[in-house]
């Protein structure tokens, strides 16, 4: 039996969480447990395969007040195999009509939370399948670069990320009021949550993605790509802006990258960097690949995965 826990802000401040939780209640009829968080009973249900899923309502978005919720997470949900925060996405120039997820980490400081590429892939596949079934041609299922909302909303110091031992994903709808209130999107996210442990039988080859923009289409496409019984496992994506901000070209860069790789369950089988990444950063990833004995490729190679010289 595997366990997952999902956190929902029970306040209209979050325009997405309540809608998704309502859909969860509709589809899965979770029952109240005796555990209270913020005075609200935790809800729980099991999947047909026997995996256990907990749904936690909180008064604030978990990552916005990590010092408050980290003890709750470590005391009650440290034995989970996956955790997720259901929330909204917004931002200047943010794409609209998206169903997205991202791993937790502060690239600048090199604080990377645990990541499970296989679970993240299962979630993305379920989201994409739901998007198609709902006829949502105006939406895309995409990946988002690794970051931590706690840095934006003052949730705490980035080192706190390392204190929760469970892979933690932000699972979002974006990026406008029209999308946040879209009941179709809420249904898709809700139905996908119980699919994180359900794979499609493909051999997952984990890759570390580097460079590019925050919503890089090349890495998003790779996350949904499969070939000859294999598939990419995409988790941490190190966007160009944070590689530069974190000075990964300097002598501290290799240590940060080692911590990143160590945080990925199952390790990595390849590194893919965006071709627009500047030379000193490419050199860092080439050196990392040489040390690990794995291929390092440009992002264009992800379109022809069968040609990659896997080792």
| Measured CA angle at 58 (ends 96, 196), to 5 deg | 60
Measured over the CA atoms of residue 192, residue 193, residue 194 and residue 198, the dihedral's sign is positive
For 181-200, write each residue's pLDDT tens digit.
999 999 999 999 999 999 99
Read off the pLDDT of residues 42-76 as tens digits, 9 standing for 90 and up.
999 999 999 999 999 999 999 999 999 999 999 99
pLDDT in tens, 239-298: 999 999 999 999 999 999 999 999 999 999 999 999 999 999 999 999 999 999 999 999
Q: Which residues are paired to 172 by β-bridges?
A: 87, 100
Residue 154 above 90 pLDDT?
no
pLDDT exceeds 80 at position 223: yes
Nearest Cα neighbor of 99 from 254, 281, 223 is 223
Sheet containing 296-298: which strands, arranged edge to edge? 226-227, 230-238, 203-210, 270-273, 296-298
Q: Helix 183-192 crosses helix 117-133 at what angle (to 10 degrees)?
A: 140
- Left if phi > 0, otherwise alpha if psi is -120 to 50, otherwise beta: which for 116? beta
Do the Cβ atoms of 101 and 24 come closer than 8 Å? Answer: no
pTM value surpassing 0.75: yes
Phi, psi of 189 (to 5 degrees): -60, -45
pLDDT at residue 155 greater than cutoff 80: no
At residue 40 the predicted structure's pLDDT band, cuts being 50, 70 and 90, is: very high
Please name every residue paired with 82 in a beta bridge, in sequence order, or none if there are none: 4
């Amino acid at each position: 039996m595997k366990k997952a826990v999902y956190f929902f802000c029970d306040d209209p401040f979050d325009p997405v969480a309540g809608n998704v939780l309502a859909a969860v209640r509709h589809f899965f009829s979770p029952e109240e447990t005796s555990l209270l968080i913020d005075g609200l009973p935790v809800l729980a249900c099991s999947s047909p395969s026997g995996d256990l899923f907990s749904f936690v309502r909180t008064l604030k978005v978990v990552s916005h007040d990590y010092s408050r919720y980290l003890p709750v997470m470590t005391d009650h949900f440290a034995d989970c195999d996956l955790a997720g925060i259901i929330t909204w996405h917004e931002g200047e120039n943010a794409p609209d009509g998206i169903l997205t997820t991202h791993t937790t980490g502060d690239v600048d400081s090199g604080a990377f939370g645990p990541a499970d590429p296989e679970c993240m892939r299962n979630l993305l596949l379920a989201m994409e399948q739901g998007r198609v079934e709902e006829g949502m041609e105006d939406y895309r299922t995409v990946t988002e670069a690794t970051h931590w909302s706690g840095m934006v909303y003052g949730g705490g110091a980035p080192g706190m990320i390392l204190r929760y031992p469970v892979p933690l994903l932000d699972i979002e709808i974006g990026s406008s009021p029209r999308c946040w209130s879209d009941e179709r999107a809420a249904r898709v996210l809700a139905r996908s949550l119980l699919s994180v442990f359900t794979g499609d039988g493909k051999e997952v080859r984990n890759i570390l993605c580097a460079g590019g923009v925050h919503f890089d289409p090349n890495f998003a496409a790779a996350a949904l790509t499969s070939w000859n019984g294999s598939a990419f496992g995409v988790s941490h994506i190190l966007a160009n802006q944070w590689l530069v901000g974190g000075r990964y070209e300097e002598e501290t860069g290799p240590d940060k990258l080692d911590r990143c790789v160590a945080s990925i369950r199952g390790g990595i089988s390849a590194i893919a960097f965006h071709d627009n990444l500047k030379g000193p950063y490419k050199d860092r990833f080439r050196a990392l690949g040489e040390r690990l004995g794995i291929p390092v490729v440009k992002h264009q190679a992800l379109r022809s995965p069968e040609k990659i010289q896997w080792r």
